[in-house]
C-alpha cells in the first residue's frame, strides 16, 4: 500500500472537492497525495500510511514444512504520521455519536421486525423450519458445484427453483440463533458420515486380512459376528466428541485427532520504522499549541503454538514534547517532556530503550523487561493540554449516557470455581532490569534551562524470580526486588543537570577543565538531599492451592523481608525553602501562575498583570553596568522583556518566599534594591 492518505477538513466555507467532477477529483488527489503530500497544509491531512504485508500459509502436504507455523505473517509499516487538531477531534466524535445512534436505531428496528415475524411461528413450526433448513443446507454442502458461488450454487444444488425459494424464505424468517445451530448440526452430521465411511473401509480391509490368515492356518475358532455394523459404539462416541469440540471452537473439522502433539499455529511479525502523533489546538489569537509523541524502531513478534503463546516487543527510541507556535512566528518551539537520558549518542551507539517479552506455556508465565533510563520533565502545560482533549471525550461520553435507552441485557456467565482456578494456576517468572526514570521538576514552567530544579533519580530497579531450593520453597512463588542508588538532588539550573549527564570522555575532558567561573559556582550549589538509598525486598507468596496441602498448615501465606542497607539524608535551611516551592508547582486547586511557553505571550501577561514598568538590573556578565528592561509583575513571577515591544519575556523569576534588601554598593542608584531568591 503506497501513500494512503486521509484528510479531514473542518472549514465549512471552502469545500476542496465538492464542486469538482470525478475525473478532476482523481487528478487533484494524484497531484496532492502521490507527489509527497505537497498540498498537505491545505487539505488538513490527518494520516499518511505506507505499508507492506506478506502472508505465508503452510503446505501440509510438504513434509519439509511440518514444523513450520500454519500462518507466517510479516507486516511492515513505513514512517506513519498522525496529526489531529482539536476541531477535527470534535467533528470526529460528533460523527461517531451520530453513527452510534443510527446503529441503535437500526438494531432496534431489526429486532422488532424479527420479533413480529417470530410471533407468528409456534415452537412446532419453528422445529419443522429448522429440519427443512438443515436438509436443504446439507444438500448444498454435499453437491459438488465448482466455479459457482452464492445463490447460483444454491439454485444448482437444490431440486428446482421452488426449493431455492424455500431456502431463501427460511433464511429470512428463522432467528439467527436457530440458523447457527442448524448449520453446526449439518456440518457435524456430514463430517460424522465421512468419518464413519473412512472407518468402515479400514475395518473391511482388516477383516479381509484376518479371514485370509484364518483360512491359511485352518483355525476352528469361530469369530463373533457383528450383526449391527462394521463400527462399534465407542467409535461413534469418539467421533461425535471430536466433532462437538471442533465445532465449539469454530474449527474447520480438519485438525488431527492426535493428542499431546505441539503444533506451531501462527508466527506474526510487525515492524514500524518510525512514527509520530500530534494533538494540536489553534487559539483565537493565531497561536497554536500541541503535544507531539514520536518513536523509531518499533517491532512486535508473536508466536502461537497449540500449548503456548509468546510476545516480544522492542522499541529503539521515543520522546514526548510540547509544540508551540506564536502568532508572530512561523516556526514551532519544542519543549521536551520525555526523552532518553543519553539522547546525544548517535543511533548506532544507542541500545533499545525498552524490550518486553511475555510468554505463557504449561510450565508457567514469564515476564522479561529491560529498559534504559529516560528523563521525565514535569510540565503542567502537558496536563492542561491533555485536559482540553480529554474534556471533549468526556462530554461525548456524558451525551451517550444521557441518550442511552434504558434497556438492560445481561449475560449471566458461570463463575469459575476455586478448584478450576487452581487447576489453571501457574508459576510466575520475572526477569526485570530497568534503569528507572529521572524525574525533573523545574521551578519555572516556561521551558527555560536556566531554571532551578529538583531531580529525583529512581536508580536501578531489578526484579527476579528465585529458584526453589528446599521442599518448603516448592509451595511458594519467590521474588527478589532490588533498588540501587536512588537520589533526590537540587540543581541550580536545568542546564547543569543536562551537562553532568554526559560521560567524561577523553575529548570532553578539556571542556570540563575549562569551565567558566560561573559554571563552577553552579556546581558548588548542587546539593544532595537524599543519596545512596538502596533497597532490597524478598517476597514469598503461596502458589494457588498450596494452602490446602497438609505441610502448609503452619506456614505463612505471604512473607515480605525488607532491607535498607544505606540511606544518606541531608537538609539545610536554604534547601528546605526551595523544597517548599514544590508545593506551588503541584497546586491544582487554583489556576496556576506558572506561565509556560504557549501562554507567556505579552498580551496574556498584560491582561492579568499586577504591576508593569521599567527596571534596571545588574547581570553576572556585566556586574558594573545597569541594563534597562521592561518588566511585568504577574502573580508571584517577575517577567523581564529586553524591549517594550517584545512578544515574549527574556527572563522569568519566581518571587515566592523571596526577600527584599536595600542595595548600597552603588551610590548613584538611590532606589536600588536586592532580591534574595
- List, for residues 136-194, the tens digit of each pLDDT value: 877 777 765 555 555 566 667 777 777 877 877 777 777 777 788 888 888 778 777 77
Least confident of 45-54, 326-335, 419-428, 506-515: 506-515
Report the b/e string of 164-198 with b at 16+ CB within 10 A. Answer: bebbeebeebbbeebbeebeeebbbebbbeebbee
DSSP 106: H
Cβ atoms 319, 353 nearer than 8 A = no
What does the pLDDT read at residue 288?
86
What does the pLDDT read at residue 164?
78
* CA–CA separation, 313 and 353 (whole Å): 11
Ordered DSSP codes for 472-501 = GGGGEEEEEEEEEEEEEEEES-HHHHHHHH
Q: How many CB atoms lie within 10 A of CB 540?
A: 19
Task: Return the sign of the alpha-carbon dihedral for residues 154, 155, 160, 165.
Answer: positive
Residue 337 has pLDDT above 80, yes or no: yes
Does residue 585 form part of some domain? no
User: Bigger pLDDT: 226 or 635?
Assistant: 635
107: Cα within 13 Å, side-chain hemisphere: 7
Residues 459-509 have pLDDT tens digits of 999 999 988 888 888 888 899 999 999 999 999 888 888 888 776 444 444
Give the pLDDT band (50/70/90) at residue 627: confident
Give the pLDDT band (50/70/90) at residue 408: very low
Give the pLDDT band (50/70/90) at residue 117: low
Residue 520 has pLDDT above 80, yes or no: no
Percentage with pLDDT > 90 across the chain: 19
Give the pLDDT band (50/70/90) at residue 228: very low
SS (H, E, C) 507-518: HHHHHHHCCCHH
* CA–CA separation, 555 and 618 (whole Å): 72
SS (H, E, C) 543-593: CCCHHHCHHHCCCCCEEEEEECCCCEECCCHHHHHHHHHHHHHCCCCCCCC
Name the pTM for this structure: 0.64
Cβ atoms 270, 77 nearer than 8 A = yes
User: Bigger pLDDT: 664 or 373?
Assistant: 373
Average pLDDT, the chain: 76
What does the pLDDT read at residue 303?
94
Last residue of a domain, one of 194, 222, 248: 248
User: Bigger pLDDT: 8 or 428?
Assistant: 428
Sorted by sequence, the CB contacts under 8 Å of residue 140 that are 6+ apart come out as: 153, 154, 157, 158, 167
Give the pLDDT band (50/70/90) at residue 286: confident
Least confident of 2-16, 124-138, 375-389: 2-16
- Alpha-carbon distance values, 92 to 88, 101, 535 (Å): 6, 14, 49
Least confident of 354-363, 384-393, 417-426: 417-426
Give the pLDDT band (50/70/90) at residue 88: confident
Q: Give the count of domains, the chain.
A: 2
With 0-12 / 13-18 / 19 or more C-beta atoms within 10 angstroms meaning exposed / middle / buried, residue 543 is middle
Does residue 5 form part of some domain? no
What does the pLDDT read at residue 432?
95
* φ, ψ dihedrals at 195, nearest 5°: -65, -40
Give the pLDDT band (50/70/90) at residue 68: confident
* CA–CA separation, 487 and 497 (whole Å): 13
Does residue 533 form part of some domain? no
Does residue 153 form part of some domain? yes
* φ, ψ dihedrals at 300, nearest 5°: -140, 130
Does residue 205 form part of some domain? yes
What does the pLDDT read at residue 375?
93
Tell me which residue range forms the domain holding 650: 600-676
Does residue 24 form part of some domain? no
What does the pLDDT read at residue 663?
78
Least confident of 196-210, 334-348, 639-653: 196-210
Reported as type and span, the H/E element at residue 622 is none
Q: Which long-range CB contacts under 8 A does 130-136 form with residues at least 24 apart?
A: 130/174, 130/178, 130/181, 130/182, 132/166, 132/170, 133/167, 133/170, 133/171, 133/174, 133/179, 133/182, 134/182, 134/185, 134/186, 136/163, 136/166, 136/167, 136/170
* CA–CA separation, 308 and 247 (whole Å): 22
Length, in residues, of the chain: 677
Report the b/e string of 573-592 with b at 16+ CB within 10 A. Answer: eeeeebeebeeebeeeeeeb
Residue 374 has pLDDT above 90, yes or no: yes
- Average pLDDT score over residue span 299-319: 93
Does residue 657 form part of some domain? yes
To the nearest 10°, the Cα dihedral for 238, 244, 250, 252?
Answer: 40
User: Bigger pLDDT: 656 or 50?
Assistant: 50
Does residue 23 form part of some domain? no
Amino acid at each position: 500500500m503506497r501513500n494512503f492518505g486521509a484528510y479531514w477538513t473542518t472549514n465549512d466555507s471552502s469545500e476542496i472537492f465538492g464542486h469538482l467532477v470525478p475525473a478532476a477529483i482523481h487528478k487533484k488527489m494524484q497531484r496532492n497525495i502521490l507527489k509527497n503530500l505537497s498540498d498537505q497544509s491545505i487539505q488538513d491531512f490527518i494520516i499518511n500510511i505506507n505499508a507492506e504485508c506478506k502472508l505465508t500459509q503452510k503446505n501440509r502436504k510438504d513434509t519439509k514444512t511440518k514444523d513450520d507455523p500454519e500462518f507466517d505473517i510479516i507486516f511492515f509499516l513505513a514512517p506513519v504520521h498522525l496529526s489531529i487538531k482539536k476541531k477535527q477531534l470534535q467533528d470526529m466524535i460528533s460523527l461517531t455519536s451520530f453513527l452510534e445512534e443510527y446503529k441503535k436505531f437500526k438494531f432496534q428496528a431489526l429486532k422488532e421486525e424479527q420479533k413480529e415475524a417470530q410471533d407468528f411461528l409456534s415452537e412446532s413450526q419453528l422445529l419443522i423450519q429448522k429440519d427443512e433448513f438443515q436438509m436443504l443446507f446439507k444438500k448444498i454442502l454435499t453437491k459438488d458445484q465448482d466455479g459457482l458461488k452464492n445463490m447460483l450454487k444454491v439454485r444448482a444444488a437444490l431440486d428446482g427453483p421452488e426449493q431455492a425459494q424455500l431456502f431463501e424464505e427460511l433464511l429470512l424468517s428463522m432467528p439467527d440463533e436457530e440458523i447457527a445451530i442448524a448449520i453446526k448440526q449439518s456440518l457435524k452430521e456430514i463430517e460424522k458420515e465421512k468419518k464413519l465411511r473412512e472407518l468402515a473401509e479400514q475395518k473391511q480391509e482388516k477383516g479381509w486380512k484376518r479371514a485370509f490368515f484364518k483360512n491359511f492356518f485352518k483355525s476352528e475358532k469361530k469369530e463373533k459376528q457383528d450383526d449391527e455394523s462394521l463400527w462399534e459404539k465407542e467409535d461413534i462416541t469418539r467421533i461425535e466428541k471430536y466433532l462437538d469440540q471442533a465445532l465449539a471452537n469454530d474449527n474447520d473439522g480438519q485438525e488431527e485427532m492426535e493428542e499431546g502433539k505441539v503444533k506451531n499455529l501462527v508466527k506474526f511479525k510487525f515492524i514500524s520504522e518510525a512514527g509520530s502523533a500530534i494533538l494540536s489546538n489553534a487559539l483565537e489569537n493565531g497561536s497554536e499549541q500541541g503535544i507531539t509523541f514520536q518513536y523509531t524502531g518499533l517491532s512486535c513478534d508473536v508466536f502461537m503454538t497449540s500449548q503456548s503463546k509468546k510476545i516480544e516487543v522492542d522499541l529503539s527510541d521515543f520522546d514526548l514534547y510540547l509544540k508551540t507556535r506564536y502568532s508572530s512566528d512561523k516556526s514551532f518551539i519544542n519543549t521536551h517532556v520525555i526523552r532518553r537520558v543519553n539522547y546525544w549518542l548517535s543511533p548506532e551507539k544507542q541500545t533499545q530503550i525498552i524490550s518486553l517479552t511475555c510468554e505463557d506455556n504449561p510450565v508457567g508465565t514469564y515476564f522479561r523487561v529491560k529498559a534504559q533510563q529516560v528523563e521525565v520533565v514535569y510540565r503542567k502545560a502537558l496536563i492542561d493540554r491533555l485536559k482540553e482533549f480529554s474534556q471533549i471525550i468526556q462530554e461525548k461520553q456524558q451525551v451517550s449516557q444521557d441518550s442511552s435507552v434504558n434497556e438492560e441485557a445481561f449475560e449471566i456467565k458461570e463463575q469459575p470455581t476455586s478448584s478450576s482456578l487452581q487447576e489453571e494456576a501457574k508459576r510466575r517468572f520475572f526477569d526485570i532490569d530497568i534503569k528507572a526514570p529521572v524525574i525533573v521538576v523545574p521551578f519555572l514552567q516556561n521551558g527555560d534551562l536556566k531554571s532551578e530544579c529538583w531531580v529525583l533519580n529512581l536508580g536501578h530497579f531489578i526484579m527476579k524470580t528465585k529458584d526453589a531450593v528446599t521442599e518448603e520453597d516448592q509451595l511458594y512463588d519467590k521474588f527478589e526486588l532490588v533498588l540501587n542508588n536512588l537520589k533526590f538532588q537540587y540543581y541550580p539550573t536545568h542546564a547543569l543537570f543536562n551537562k553532568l549527564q554526559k560521560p567524561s570522555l577523553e575529548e570532553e575532558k578539556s571542556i570540563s577543565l575549562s569551565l567558566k567561573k560561573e559554571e563552577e559556582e553552579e556546581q558548588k550549589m548542587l546539593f544532595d538531599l537524599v543519596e545512596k538509598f538502596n533497597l532490597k525486598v524478598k517476597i514469598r507468596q503461596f502458589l494457588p492451592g498450596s494452602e490446602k496441602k497438609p505441610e502448609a498448615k503452619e506456614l505463612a501465606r505471604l512473607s515480605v523481608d525488607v532491607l535498607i542497607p544505606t540511606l544518606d539524608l541531608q537538609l539545610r535551611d536554604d534547601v528546605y525553602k526551595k523544597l517548599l516551592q514544590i508545593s506551588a508547582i503541584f497546586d491544582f486547586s487554583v489556576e496556576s501562575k506558572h506561565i509556560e511557553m504557549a501562554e507567556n505571550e505579552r498580551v496574556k501577561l498584560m491582561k492579568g498583570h499586577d504591576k508593569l514598568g521599567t527596571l534596571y538590573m545588574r547581570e553576572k556578565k556585566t556586574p558594573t553596568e545597569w541594563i534597562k528592561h521592561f518588566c511585568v509583575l504577574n502573580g508571584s513571577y517577575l517577567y523581564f522583556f529586553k524591549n517594550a515591544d517584545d512578544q515574549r519575556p527574556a527572563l522569568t523569576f519566581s518571587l515566592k518566599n523571596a526577600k527584599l534588601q536595600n542595595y548600597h554598593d552603588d551610590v548613584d542608584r538611590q532606589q536600588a534594591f536586592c532580591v534574595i531568591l
